[in-house]
Amino acid sequence: MKWVSTADKTNKVNLQHAILYGLPNDGGLWIPQYIPTIDIEKIDTLTNLEICLSILKSFFSPDIDETQLKEIVDNAINFDIPLHQLNSNTYILELFHGPTMAFKDFGARIMALLFQHFLNKKPKNYKILVATSGDTGSAVANAFSNTHIPVLIFYPNNKISEFQQQQITTYGKNISSMALDGSFDDCQAIVKSLLNNDRLQQQLNIRFITANSINISRLIPQMFYYYISYAKIVRLYTKQQLSTKNIIYSIPSGNMGNATACLLSILSGLSIDKMIVATNSNDTIPRFIQSNGLYQSMKSIPTISNAMDVGNPSNFQRMWSLFHFNIEDLKKLITSISVSDPQTQKTINQVYGTYNYLLDPHTAVGYQALENFTNSNDIRVVVSTASPYKFKDIVEQSINKKLTYPPQCISYFNKKQFKLNYHSNTSNLIEKLWSTNTIILIGMPGSGKSTIAKYLQTQYQWNLIETDQMIIDKYNKKLVDIVNHFGDRFMEIEKETILTLTPTNRKTIISPGGSVVYNKDIMEHLKSLGIIIHLDTNSIDIEQRVDNYLERGIVMKPGDTIYDLYRERLPLYHQYRELSIDNSILNIEETANTINNL
């Protein structure tokens, strides 16, 4: 099997290249050169694992031999895939019984094992990049936490659920995460920009790989549950019954990977009569179909079904290519329906009241879209993409009832978050970080600047520059004595010292004095040297840590307290920060490791 670009079918590569070079260099996405036919004649006699292996063999063999594929499937798909019957002809395909309680576990776990297969000798020469609106990040973090492959996850800050954030940010070690000041589309644009930045990859001697569903190693495994659920349907109905009914799948859709996997399943032989691409208010696909093929992306809109908040779904170009850009052929198979937040919450309430069954907001979008379209004779399957407990607050509001987290959820909330806040919506900061190899720490006295910097120096051999120490060495006095001697002129001495700093090729950590944020020239020079990280320590911790501020040479107004100084400086830290880390919850070692793992 060769893999071809949606932009240029003459651009062909093998499986390893398609996986490790996640995007073609022509702006397209990889699709199989042809769609293999998968035999479903006796699908009802096969186990789940046998079905999964059959699919992987059809697309990935002989690039990977059957023995290795079987081992990958056995290790990855070790959880249940129930088809819950809601009423006489409506079924909920529960895809949330994996470790992170969302359908993304299927693709992410297979992907991690495939990457290990190809990268077992050189994992440090690669870095996995992920943009997530919620569940992708959770699944990838979990799957790759069992490997040595470094992963960097971007997610939109305050636009995913608290539970999703806990799942993404609590692994540490090889899993780094960035909370972006922006939308999922911004996260996705950053990842695409980095993937296409050959200059930076050559400079770092690292190959960036995407773990989003635009990577075929995640997309193909998502076909598993369509075949598995179809086998369950075949066991429930006679051939005569099936011959008189349409089988319709309603798929909650954001970046369209799930829908693309369903389409590939149909094209490879699965007898699904209709696909409903169910969206929230991010209705790019419904508008595309209604306009007979006019594609207009949109700025993503925050909704309660946040994993679907995608205004420019990447995988759509795959689907469009598989239909040979023919809108009439697409409309014969696909209908797309948008569901609003109020409709979503009403659906959650109605289904719970009628069936005593909980839907998460994404599944509720799929269910309501199905209700808007189908008739009573159809066999109707709603693809349930996540556990309702991942969106507990929204579900509680919808049913007006408090829920209790199951045990597997509670364990996540007992863990610390290892994340940095990314104060931009473009790739410029991360490119600057990796290009300059220099980090400047700013923060209040007591935030741990010097201690963290020294830890990076001793444990990871970073080059350490402490500007206060440079001044101390120059004048051969304690800092407090230098400050008292020069008074207001101390800021000029600090400025002169810092302006002597020049770029370096070594990994360098610069720890300047806390008062540097008062001087624009100093901050602009520091920003030119590297990336500025604010150690964001809360005022209570600062007051507890700093009880000897008069002896430390801290520049303060007469009569001010350390809290007064905190309030005065915080807006300046926010003005100049490029990244920030909440080190009130992390100790010195954890903060230093989080920075080093970038």
Q: Which of 117-121, 255-259, 267-271, 532-536 has the lowest mean pLDDT?
A: 117-121
Specify the number of domains making up the chain.
Answer: 2
pLDDT at 181: 93
Residue 95 lies in a domain: yes
Confidence (pLDDT) at 384: 98
Q: Compute the distance between CA of residue 598 and CA of residue 594 in angstroms, rounded to an integer.
A: 7
Q: Is the peptide bond before 406 cis (omega within 30 degrees of 0)?
A: no
What's the whole-number mean pLDDT along residues 540-544? Answer: 87
- 317 with 456, same domain: the answer is no
Q: Would you say residue 477 lies in a domain?
A: yes
Per-residue pLDDT at 388 exceeds 70:
yes
pLDDT given at position 343: 98
Q: What is the DSSP string of 387-454?
A: -GGGGHHHHHHHHTS-----HHHHHHHTS----EEE--SSTHHHHHHHHH-EEEEE--TTS-HHHHHH
Distances (CA, A) of 144 to 123, 129, 153, 459: 12, 12, 11, 24
401 and 252 within one domain = yes
Per-residue pLDDT tens digits for 180-216: 999 888 998 899 899 889 899 999 899 898 887 789 9
Per-residue pLDDT, averaged over 245-253, amounts to 96
Residues 313 and 236 in one domain: yes
Instruction: Please state the rounded mean pLDDT for residues 515-535.
Output: 95
The per-residue pLDDT for 570 is: 94
- Are residues 317 and 447 located together in one domain of the fold? no
Stretch 481-489: mean pLDDT:
86
Tell me, yes or no, whether 334 and 470 share the same domain: no
**Does residue 377 fall inside a structural domain?**
yes
Q: For the chain, what is the mean pLDDT? A: 92
pLDDT band at 270 (very low <50, low <70, confident <90, very high): very high
**pLDDT interval class at 122 (50, 70, 90):** low
Instruction: State what percent of residues in the chain have pLDDT above 90.
Output: 74
Residues 361, 501: one domain? no
pLDDT at 546 (0 to 100): 76
- Which pLDDT score is estimated for 553? 58
User: Do 506 and 551 belong together in one domain?
Assistant: yes
What 3-state class would DSSP assign to 180?
strand
Query: 160: how many CB neighbours lie within 10 A of its CB?
Result: 25
Instruction: Please report whether residue 465 resides in a domain.
Output: yes
CATH (domain of 237): 3.40.50.1100
Q: Max CA-CA distance within the chain?
A: 96
Average pLDDT over residues 228-244: 94
Instruction: Report, as an integer, the average pLDDT of 374-399.
Output: 92
Among 371-380, 420-429, 546-555, 563-572, the range scoring the smallest mean pLDDT is: 546-555
Q: What is the pTM of this model?
A: 0.87
Compute the half-sphere exposure of residue 88: CA atoms within 13 Å on the CB side of its CA: 4
Q: What is the CATH number of the domain that holds 580?
A: 3.40.50.300
pLDDT at residue 265 in the model: 97
288/27: higher pLDDT: 288
Res 99: pLDDT: 93
Is residue 32 one of the residues assigned to a domain?
no
Q: Is there a single domain that holds both residue 365 and residue 462?
A: no
Among 345, 378, 413, the domain-final residue is 413
Provide the pLDDT for residue 276.
Answer: 97
pLDDT score for 492 = 92
Range of the domain at 540: 437-596
Residue 516 shares a structural domain with residue 577:
yes
pLDDT of residue 283: 96
Average pLDDT over residues 451-463: 96
Segment 19-45 mean pLDDT:
90
Q: Which residues of 456-491 are buried (b: 16+ CB within 10 A; e: fewer)?
A: bbeeeebebbbbbeebbeeeeeebeebbeeeeeebb
Q: Pick from 359, 379, 413: which residue ends a domain?
A: 413
Residue 212 lies in a domain: no
311-329: average pLDDT: 94
Same domain, 358 and 278: yes
Q: Are residues 581 and 441 in the same domain?
A: yes
Query: Is 127 part of a structural domain of the chain?
Result: no
**Does 394 share its domain with 293?**
yes
Residue 56 lies in a domain: no
